[in-house]
Amino acid sequence: MSDAWTWGSLGLLGAWHGLNPAMGWLFAVALGMQERTGRAVVAALPPIALGHAASIACTVALLALGHAVLPLALLSGSIAVALVGFGTWKLVRPRHPRWVGMRVGFRDLTLWSFLMATAHGAGLMLLPVFLLGFGAASTQEAHGHLHATAAPATWNAWAAAVGVHTAAMLAVSAAVALVVYYKVGLAVLRSAWLDLDRLWAIALIAAGVAAVW
């Protein structure tokens, strides 16, 4: 895969994650309306982005572990099965983790975002991009295992990729949250939470197909 395809896909998926209300902007708007200030909306976004990035990073770390010990074909097939299975489950049962209240600090928001991103399979959706975009550079042709001498460069590239994805997610989340808070208003809170659930599940399934394409 070309660099342009890889980095472009990471950015577009970041924008898609930022657009999804379950990834945090809806909660940020609710906090702003509770506090009656746009500053609360803005203040909520960095910990939400940090929690999202942490969830992605954990998933990527698991990918690196699998890449080190499994043949590439088996790893790709396992990712595909996980994505299609998880996407189908989300399509049938689109549930969301619940939070205990709205009085939350930086640490609470970070943890909430981490749990939401993990529960919705945000990191899983990125695995085909990491596998196709970065996997070939760190794979021994003979055995399909992670090359030890390539590991530092690979980790640097994957860390940068998480950063690019998170930056795109944060930019879109911020734009949507501020537009909703200042222009759209409270009505969106009654419906936006579920608007993208079906599309999100379909995107997970599509990512699973892409993993073995």
**pTM for the full predicted model:** 0.78
Under the banding of pLDDT at 50, 70 and 90, the label for residue 157 is confident
Q: How far is CA 69 from the centre of its chain?
A: 24
Q: Where are the alpha helices (DSSP H) in 70-191?
A: 72-92, 106-119, 122-134, 151-179
> Quick check: 29 and 177 in contact, CB under 8 A?
yes
* Largest distance between two CA atoms of the chain: 61
Supply the pLDDT for residue 175. 96
- pLDDT beyond 70 at 135: no
Q: Which residues contact 66 (CB under 8 A, 6 or more apart)?
A: 75, 78
Full domain range(s) for residue 177: 3-211
Whole-number Cα distances in Å, 174 to 6, 64, 77: 24, 31, 36
In angstroms, the first-to-last Cα distance of the chain is: 12
Looking at the structure of the chain, the number of domains it has is 1
Q: How far is CA 175 from the centre of its chain?
A: 17
